[in-house]
Amino acid sequence: MPTRRSTPRPLPPAKKQAARFALQREADRTATAEDYVELIADLLREEGEARAVDVARRMGVSQATVTATVGRLQRDGLVETKPYRGLFLTAEGQTMATAAKARHDLVVRFLIAVGLDAETAEEDAEGLEHHASDKALAAFARFLAEREG
C-alpha cells in the first residue's frame, strides 16, 4: 500500500492569509517589550534590582540599545527608571510581565513534555512564546494537565 501522503493544502483565501501574516507582524512588534518586562521582573525578584547594564548583558545587546528600548517602554507606560538605581515596572508593565512569565514557563514545560530536551526547550521558548495564541496556550495547558495530573 502507498505511504500516506500529506494532504496537499490548497492556498487559503487571500484575505485570510493576509490576516494571518498581519497577526504574525503584530506579535513581532510586541515581542521585545514582553522580553524586556519579563527580564526586568525576573531581575527585580531575584536580584532585588534591575539595572540597565544587567539587562544589556542578559539580552546580549549594547547599553545604548537598552537606553533606547527602555525609552520606548517608558513612552508606552510599561517601565519607569530611577537613574543609577535601576528599572521598575508600572502596573501595566507588571501585568504584562506576569503574563509573559506564565506564558514562557508554560511553553517550556510543554516543549519538555512533548520530548524536547530542557536546554533546547528554553532556547525555543524564547521565540515561540510570542507567537502562541491564547487558544494555543490553553491547548498546551490542557495537554500538560492530562498527562501530568
Partner DNA sequence: TCCGAAAGTTAGCCTAGGCTAAGAACTGTT
Partner DNA sequence: AACAGTTCTTAGCCTAGGCTAACTTTCGGA
Name the residues that contact a copy of itself, by CB under 8 A.
6, 9-12, 14, 17-24, 27-28, 31, 35, 42-43, 46-47, 54, 57-61, 105, 108-109, 111, 114-117, 120, 122-124, 126-128, 130-133, 135-136, 139-140, 142-143
48 lines the binding site for DNA (CB under 7 A): no
CA distances from 114 to 60, 106, 121, 144 (A): 29, 12, 10, 9
Q: Per-residue string for binding with DNA, 90-129, x by CB under 7 A?
A: ----------------------------------------
Assess contact for 105 and 41: CB atoms under 8 A.
no
Residue 97: CA count within 13 A, CB half-sphere: 20
Q: Provide the 10 A C-beta neighbour count for residue 103.
A: 21
**Binding characters for Mn ion, 86-115, by CB under 5 A (x = yes):** ------------------x-----------
Q: What does the block give as the cell for 86?
A: 535601576
Q: Which residue has the cell 501585568?
A: 95
Q: Which of 93, 136, 19, 146 lies closest to 125 in space, CA to CA?
A: 136
The contact mask relative to DNA for 64-83 (x = CB under 7 A, - = no) is xxxxxxx-x--------x-x
Please report, as ranges, the residues that interact with Mn ion according to CB under 5 A. Answer: 35, 38, 104, 126
In the complex, which residues of this chain contact DNA (CB under 7 A)?
A: 25, 29, 31-33, 51-53, 59-70, 72, 81, 83-86
